[in-house]
Each structure stands twice: as structure tokens, then as C-alpha cells.
Amino acid sequence: MADRGIVAVFGSMNMDLSVACERMPRAGETVGGSGFITNAGGKGANQAVAAARMGARTCMIGAVGRDAFGDALVAGLRDAGVGVEFVARRDDVETGTATIIRCEGDNRIVLSPGANHALAGEDVACALKRLVADELDGDARELAPAAGSVFIVQGECDPMATAAALSCAHRLGFYTVFNPAPACGLPAEAWPAVDLICPNETECQVLTGILPKDDESCAAALNALLAKGAGAAVITLGGAGSVTLSDDGEPLRMPALSSTVVDTTAAGDTFIGALAAARLEGLPLFECMAAGARASAVTVSRLGAQQSIPTRAEVEHWFC
């Protein structure tokens, strides 16, 4: 490895097409909208940007089409300080898009994955091995372990590629973070490769059958996630903050920090990216959750996805 760890993200890159309306349209109905914006997004790219803006050395592994949206997404990552050498440009498929309707401080999203499903597990494994080897030629058996580095995946890429990537990263020594969003599971053999699973409450309910609404249900849900084989679990709860288990098995809550909610897009991604950056610094899990809470509080006070994600200096100024 290089002289310090890295946050490597395998995930989606989307162009977000976002519009606001006073209420959600009913079937067959057209309603007036305003505030249309296009914004670089995708859960993977958002998390990479968040980690980079928190000061972590960060690399994106993903794919876009050879089109104008793809050009813009790669340029945006590069401008945010994210390494893009492992972002593939594909001629056979378009760049992913997300159509977002903003209404009353919440949002609804329709995804078209496009190139986000173009990479296979071996493509990601090749990128990870090159990262570990500092892109020098060498036999994989000679690679130094990626101790101290973090690898993040979500649910917006090919499921089998995601599972294979987790297993490879875990073998190489990365601390692996699985954000099952949209809600998705893993093959049974892949769960032991997950060091941390971080769903929101809806995703948690899909995975465990338990909606985490109070301490008792939060504890049950967290234990159900651990029973799948993950090393640790954090559930994000929107305005109620996030929760994990203490050393004695009791729910340990990190409250959401106060801010005016303008747009919740990318709030969860900011939380995970900031958590990963804090992990890179060697902080314990609960302090990593606190870093995520601070960063996401700034994000929800702004409009958009990547454009709303703060830098470390902005977070420190906000909470000084």
C-alpha cells in the first residue's frame, strides 16, 4: 500500500434529474413543479465524494457510458478529489440516471441503472489488487494486506459483482462496509466478508422483517443483521439519528444533529462516506457515527446530491 490507507468505493454513478412539487402526483395526473436541477449523483459516487471531502484519500470503481452525462460525472469526481482511474467508459450502455421528485422535505427516486451493472466481480477484484499493489506488476500472492483501508459497496450495481467484490476486498484486508440500498441481501457465503452493514430503517425491515422503531426493536434488528454474519451493524434512522449495539448488547444511539431540512438527497450517503473517512483515521465505530451525523446534518440543509455534500472545513465551522 501507499503511505496511508484509502477509501475505495465500488458503486453507482448517476446523473440526478431533480424537480420539486407541492404534492406527489396521483396516477395519470400532471402537477406543476419548480426548481429543476441536474446534479451528479449515484450512491457510490456520493459516498466517494463525501469521504474525499472529509479528507480521505478516495478512489472510485464504477462505470459510465461514453456520453455527456458520463463526462460530467467523471469530471465532478475528479474535481472533488476522488481518483477516477478505475472508472470504466462503456460504448455499449448509457450512463445511469436517477429521476428525483422533491416534496415536503422528502424525496422519491426512480433509478435507471445503465452502466452501473456493466462491471463484473473480476473487474472490481482487478482494481482492488492494483490498489493494494500500488499499481505495480506483481503476483497477487505477494500483495501487502490493505490493513487500515476501507471498501464500500451498495445495492445499485450487479448483485453478484457486489458479493464477489466484498469477498475479494475482505481477503485483501480492507475494512468492508455494505450499504444495502436499495434494499438487497447477499449470498450466505458473502456475509462473513462484511465488517459493517449500514442500512436505513426501511432497508433493515426488508432484510430482517423488523422495523426499528424503539430500543427493543432496534436491538432485535441489529442482532438479526449480526446473525447473518456481519461483523458490526449500524442502522440509520433519518431524523432519529443512528443506532448500533454497545459492548454489552444494548442499543447505543447517535442522535441526528439539528439543522433546517431542505433536501434529504445524499444524506445517508454523506453519513457513510464520513463514517468511512473517520474509520480511516482509526476512530472507534461510535465516533465514526458521530462524524457521519455531523456531515449529514450539513448536507440536508442544502439542495442536491453531490453539490450538497460538505467539506471537512465546512463541517468543523458548522459545529465549532
Domains and CATH numbers, the chain: 7-13+43-92+115-319 (3.40.1190.20)
Annotated binding-site residue numbers for K(+): 263, 265, 299, 302, 304, 308
Which segments are annotated as binding site?
Answer: 14-16, 42-46, 156, 200, 236-241, 263, 265, 268-269, 299, 302, 304, 308
Active-site residue list = 269
Q: At what angle do helices 68-79 and 43-53 cross, to 10 degrees?
A: 20
**Segment 233-291, tens digit of pLDDT:** 999 999 999 999 999 999 999 999 977 888 888 999 999 999 999 999 999 999 999 99
Cβ atoms of 251 and 214 closer than 8 Å = no
Cβ distance 277 to 54 under 8 Å? yes
- Residue 15 host element (H or E): strand 14-21
| CA 191 and chain centroid, separation | 18
Please state the residue numbers annotated as binding site for ATP. Answer: 200, 236-241, 268-269
Closest CA to 222 of 239, 242, 241: 242
pLDDT of amino acid 141: 47
Residues 6+ apart with CB under 8 A from 292: 242, 254, 270, 271, 272, 274, 275, 278
Report the greatest alpha carbon distance in the chain: 61
pLDDT at 134: 63
The helix/strand/coil state of 61 is strand
Res 2: pLDDT: 41
Ranges under pLDDT 70 in the chain? 1-4, 134-145
What pLDDT does residue 274 have?
Answer: 98
Q: What is the pTM assigned to this prediction?
A: 0.90
Cite the DSSP H helix spans in the chain: 43-53, 68-79, 121-132, 159-172, 201-208, 215-227, 267-280, 285-299, 312-318
pLDDT for the residue 252? 97
Of the CA atoms within 13 Å of residue 174, those in its CB half-sphere come to 28
pLDDT on residue 135: 43
Query: For the purposes of burial, counting CB atoms within 10 Å of the CB of 4, is it exposed (0-12), middle (13-18) or buried (19 or more)?
Result: exposed
| Cβ atoms within 10 Å of 273's Cβ, excluding its own | 35
Binding residues for substrate are 14-16, 42-46, 156, 269
pLDDT value at residue 1: 39
- The pLDDT value recorded for residue 136 is 46
Q: Residue 115: name the closest of 62, 46, 71, 42 by CA.
A: 62
Distance CA 234, CA 278 (A): 15
